[in-house]
Structure 1
Amino acid sequence: MYIPKHFKVNDFSEIEAFIREHSFGTLITTKKGKPIATHLPMQLCKKENKYYITGHMAYGNPQWKTFKTCEDVLITFQGPHAYISSSWYEKENVPTWNYQSVHVYGKAYILEEKELKDDLTYLLQKYEKHRPDPVLWDTLSPSLLEKELKGIVGFKVQVNEIQAAYKMSQNRNKDDYENIIMQLQNEGNPESSKMAERMKSKNLNMRE
C-alpha cells in the first residue's frame, strides 16, 4: 500500500485496536494470477509470541483451496472514510478523500478442529456476551454444531507484515484541519461524522 509519510501509522497497539474495532475485513488470494476476495469477520490473536488473523468461510467457497499455492495472502481492514472538499481550505487546492486502512500480509493455514472450535467460541463471546439472551457456544446444541462445522473451513494467517495508513488531513495547517472537522460534522452522514470524530481525537492527541 502506498503511504505518504504524513499518514503512516507505526504504533502497533493503535493498529491492533483498529483491527479489533473494524474486524470485518477482506481476505485476498490469487488463483493462477487472478485475485479472489472474500469479505469475512476476522480476529487478531497472539499465540506463542506470534500474531495471527483467524476466521472461517463456507466449505463451498473455493478460496480456501488457494492457501497452499499462495506464498502470502492479503487481508484489508477499512475504517471510516469521507470526501474532503477543497472549498474547506484557506487556499486554492484540489479535493481529496480521508480514510483509515490497514493491510496485513502473511501465510495462511487451515485450522485444526479444536482450533476452529476455540476460535468460534471466542467469536460468539465477542459479539453475543453483551446481549440480553446471548447465543454462546455452550448454549447451542451439539447436533447443530456438528452439522454446521461440516459446512465451514477455519483458517489462520500468520502475520508477517502490517501496513497502516490514516489519511486524516495531517498535512493541513491548524485552521484547515479544524475547519475540515466542522464541515464533516455538518455533512449529515455517518461516515463523515465518524471521520470527524477520529480527526478530533487525533488533534487532541497531537496537542498533548
Structure 2
Amino acid sequence: MYIPHDNLMDNPAEILSFIQRYSFGTMITNIEGIPVATHLPFHAEMRADQLILTAHIAKANKQWQAITAQQNLVIFSEPHAYISPTNYDSLQSVPTWNYLSVHAYGKANIINEKETVMAMLEAAIKDYEPGYMAQWNELSETFRYKMANGIVAFEIVVTTLQGKKKLSQNKTDEERKRIIASLKNSGDSIVTQLGEYMENP
C-alpha cells in the first residue's frame, strides 16, 4: 500500500483498535495467478506481541484450500468520505477522498480441533452479539457441531502490517476544521466517524 509519511499509522495499539472496530475484512489469495477475495468478519488479538486474526470460511468456498501455502492479504478499510474542495482556502483546489485502511499479510493455519473451533465461534458471538450466548448454549451439541462441519476455521499470524490514515494532514488548521465540521454534520454515521478520527489523528 502506498503510504506517504504524513499518512502513516504505525502505533500497534491504534491498529489493533481499528481492526477490532472495523472487523469485516477482505481476504485476498492468489490462486493460479488470479486474485480471489472473500469478505469475512475477523477476530483480532495480540498474543505475545504477535497480531493474530481468526475467522472461518464456508467449506464450499475453495479459497480455504490455498490460504496455508502462501501469503494472504486481509484489508480492513472504513470509514471513508469524499472531501469537497469548497473546504479549502484556495479556489485552485480539487476534490479528494479521506480514509483509514489497514493491510495485514500472513499465512493461515487451518484449525481442526473441534473444541478450538467452538471456542472461536463463541469468541465471535462475544464480539458481535453477547446476548445471543444464552441461546447458543441452549442449542444441542449435535446441532452445533453439525453447523461447524460446514465451515473451515483458521488463524493468520500477521507477518507484515501496514496502516494508513489519510486525514487531510497536509491542510491548514482552518481547512481541517471546516472539513471536520462538514463530515460531522453529514448525517451519515460512517462519514461522521471519519470526522471524529480527524479530530484525534
TM value normalised by structure 2: 0.92
Aligned counterparts of 1:198 and 1:80: Cα–Cα separation in 2:
9
Q: 1:17 — aligned with what?
A: 17
CA distance 1:22–1:136, change in 2 (3 Å): farther
Give 1:109 deviation, angstroms: 1.3
**Aligned residues of 1:125 and 1:136 also touching (Cα < 8 A):** no
Per-residue CA distance 1:22-54 (angstroms, 9 max, x = gap): 111111101111001000110112335532111
Aligned counterparts of 2:180 and 2:21: Cα–Cα separation in 1:
22
Number of aligned residue pairs: give it: 199
**Aligned residues of 2:122 and 2:133 also touching (Cα < 8 A):** no
Aligned counterparts of 1:136 and 1:167: Cα–Cα separation in 2:
42
Q: 2:73 — aligned with what?
A: 74
Q: 1:205 — aligned with what?
A: none
The percent of aligned pairs where both chains have the same amino acid is 38
Q: 2:107 — aligned with what?
A: 107
Secondary structure (helix, strand or coil) at the match of 1:165 reads strand
The answer to whether residue 123 in structure 2 is matched with residue 122 in structure 1 is yes
Q: Partner amino acid for 1:42?
A: F
Give 1:86 deviation, angstroms: 1.0
**Aligned residues of 2:69 and 2:107 also touching (Cα < 8 A):** no
Q: 2:145 — aligned with what?
A: 146
Per-residue CA distance 1:152-178 (angstroms, 9 max, x = gap): 000111110100001111111100000
Secondary structure (helix, strand or coil) at the match of 2:178 reads helix
Aligned counterparts of 2:134 and 2:129: Cα–Cα separation in 1:
6
Give 1:137 deviation, angstroms: 4.7
Secondary structure (helix, strand or coil) at the match of 1:76 reads strand
TM value normalised by structure 1: 0.89
Aligned counterparts of 2:144 and 2:40: Cα–Cα separation in 1:
20
Give 1:112 deviation, angstroms: 2.4
Q: 1:57 — aligned with what?
A: 57
Give 1:100 deviation, angstroms: 0.6
Aligned counterparts of 2:184 and 2:74: Cα–Cα separation in 1:
30
Aligned counterparts of 2:13 and 2:48: Cα–Cα separation in 1:
18
